[in-house]
Structure 1
């Protein structure tokens, strides 16, 4: 599983970072970003929850 943040859509609200800071963080522009590579299996539920909390649907999860 991989989490991908669309920087053009992200509004930097921080919902994903608040839900799962192990996967999501802020870049230098104040936009969310996800860790590179595969999401560890023990953090998959948090990654999905972070995506689901995004008010602008800027996060995609690839299986």
Structure 2
């Protein structure tokens, strides 16, 4: 396994644990980001900056695909506001 891939997986697991501990609720939704569709309007990040981040080019990214418990509505609003439809919210399959 590439060191870079391992570091990314480790960072993602750490962020997911932090999400669950700081918000106190188990995530029930996840977001799928299609950066190829993102046009950089930034509406998602304006509506839900806890979930959606913008890179140096103004394109959306997320630190974790899991949506923290308690932020479901804001995350849905951010995804719905995307004119490029680059964000999809779906339930986590248990």
Whether the TM-score (by the shorter chain) exceeds 0.5 is yes
Q: Please identify which structure carries the higher helix content.
A: 2
Corresponding residue pairs, total? 63
**Unpaired runs of at least 5, structure 2:** 1-28
RMSD, aligned α-carbons = 1.2
Match of residue 69 from structure 2: 41
Which of the two has higher C-alpha Rg? 2
SS in structure 1 at match of 2:66: coil
Deviation of the 1:56 alpha carbon: 1.1
Structure 1's consecutive aligned runs of 4 or more residues displaced over 3 angstroms after TM superposition are none
Q: Please identify which structure carries the higher strand content.
A: 1
**Unpaired runs of at least 5, structure 1:** none
SS in structure 2 at match of 1:48: helix
CA distance in structure 1 between the aligned counterparts of 2:76 and 2:34, rounded to whole angstroms: 15
